[in-house]
């Protein structure tokens, strides 16, 4: 991918995120601080812009790691059962392929994983 293509892709992602009224953020199953830190950091940024935001990961059973309280943003976290089934915009963070999203993979694939339709990865 050329520098021009990367810049165009980033511009498009920024346009989608800044125009969305709501964004659903997902990270890989069994999230580590890198995955959740990315999700919660983006959630705080979007919330400051007035965007409705939820964060989740596709574990079953769903458990929130105790260290999440050190990151802040627990109020954004919802279990997969409360994740929007057809979000306006979905962002997959720290996730190389939809299968790493566990139970949220189907939502990502419906949104166009890798097709720049509704999922930003």
What is the tens place of the pLDDT at every residue in 9-46?
Answer: 889 888 989 899 999 999 999 999 999 999 999 999 99
- pTM (2 decimals)? 0.89
**Domains of the chain in sequence order:** 3-120 (3.90.1640.10)
- DSSP summary character for residue 100: G
Report how far residue 39's alpha carbon sits from residue 15's, in angstroms, rounded to the nearest whole number.
Answer: 18
41: enclosing H helix or E strand: helix 33-48
Classify residue 63 as exposed, middle or buried by CB count within 10 Å of its CB (0-12, 13-18, 19+): exposed
What pLDDT does 13 receive? Answer: 87
Express each pLDDT in 53-103 by its tens digit. Answer: 999 999 999 999 999 999 999 999 999 999 999 898 999 999 888 899 999
Task: Find the distance separating the first CA and the last CA of the chain, reported in whole Å.
Answer: 16
Give yes or no for a contact between 41 and 62, defined as CB atoms under 8 angstroms apart: no
């Amino acid at each position: 991918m050329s520098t021009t293509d990367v810049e165009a892709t980033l511009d498009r992602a920024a346009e989608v995120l800044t125009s969305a009224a709501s964004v659903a953020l997902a990270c890989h199953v069994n999230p580590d601080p890198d995955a959740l830190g990315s999700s919660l950091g983006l959630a705080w940024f979007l919330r400051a812009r007035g965007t409705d935001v939820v964060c989740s990961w596709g574990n079953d059973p769903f458990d929130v790691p105790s260290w999440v309280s050190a990151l802040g943003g627990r109020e954004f976290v919802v279990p997969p059962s409360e994740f929007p089934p057809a979000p306006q915009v979905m962002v997959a963070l720290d996730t190389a392929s939809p299968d790493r999203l566990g139970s949220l993979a189907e939502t990502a694939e419906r949104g166009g994983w890798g097709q720049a339709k509704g999922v930003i990865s």
